[in-house]
Structure 1
């Protein structure tokens, strides 16, 4: 089915992409990461090192997902709303890539070297960014779903 405002093929691709991304985000950031700190046999330094590696790989995956999504939105759909949401999502990924993750990695390295840390709100900002990405992904999925379900108007 094709709606009046969107092409159904690219919309389906966007919906699949954001659904997969949402699953990865929830699985990595909101499930696996907090749960590892509950394991009594996992020391804090090991948990932090595992987290650092996990978020490195996850971030690289998000870069590919963001680029793919922007390609679909810019060259296929041309919806200003969806492009704006997708660009906002990509900006969060960019901020995490070039600023937040390197800073958090440096803090983990300090802990692993038994160094002292100064208080920082960076981790809280990272969690907020993860929540915002989830909201943006759900908004894009919602718009794509509604457009796919909308009857053809002629």
Structure 2
């Protein structure tokens, strides 16, 4: 893989990883522990933050994919790039819409604010964990490509 493409893809991959770790595993759970933050307020903040994160993730995925495609990447890099892109697409197209519908019901009062976490939320978290592992593997593989 040419060095410019590898450096670009690697840098974007590690920035992407940092954003997912910072938002999904630090900001998201902590906001509900802040004084005065109710479930509806936290949901509203979360929707806004995750909408922005997912937009930046889509751009990062496009940049990494373009760099990998342009750089003559080896098969492991291509496979990891495809895997992280598929994980993101599953989150954006299948899981996020369901989470948004549920948060709409909570915010409108149709579901209790103190109800159990949804199955979809657990699926999203599981996908985030897998995505983090794939991003780490991709970043390391790009550094050695």
TM-score normalised over the length of structure 2: 0.92
Stretch moving more, 116-125 or 90-99: 116-125
Number of the residue aligned with 1:65: 60
Are the aligned partners of 2:5 and 2:70 in contact in 1 as well (CA < 8 Å)? no
Cα-Cα RMSD? 1.5
Number of the residue aligned with 1:98: 93
- Give 4+ residue runs of structure 1 displaced > 2 Å after superposition: 116-120
TM superposition shift of 1:56: 0.8
TM superposition shift of 1:76: 1.2
TM superposition shift of 1:79: 1.4
Gap runs ≥5 in structure 1 = 1-5, 148-154
TM superposition shift of 1:97: 1.2
Alignment partner of 1:77: what SS? coil
1:89 aligns with 2:87: no
Number of the residue aligned with 1:152: none
TM superposition shift of 1:57: 1.0
TM superposition shift of 1:116: 2.5
TM superposition shift of 1:78: 2.6
Pick the aligned partner of 1:35 from 30, 36, 42: 30
Are the aligned partners of 1:17 and 1:65 in contact in 2 as well (CA < 8 Å)? yes
Are the aligned partners of 1:18 and 1:140 in contact in 2 as well (CA < 8 Å)? yes
Q: Distance in 2 between matches of 1:123 and 1:10?
A: 35
Alignment partner of 1:138: what SS? helix
Are the aligned partners of 2:91 and 2:124 in contact in 1 as well (CA < 8 Å)? yes
TM superposition shift of 1:95: 1.0
Are the aligned partners of 2:13 and 2:139 in contact in 1 as well (CA < 8 Å)? yes
Alignment partner of 2:71: what SS? helix
1:15 aligns with 2:7: no
Q: Distance in 2 between matches of 1:77 and 1:103?
A: 38
TM superposition shift of 1:66: 0.6
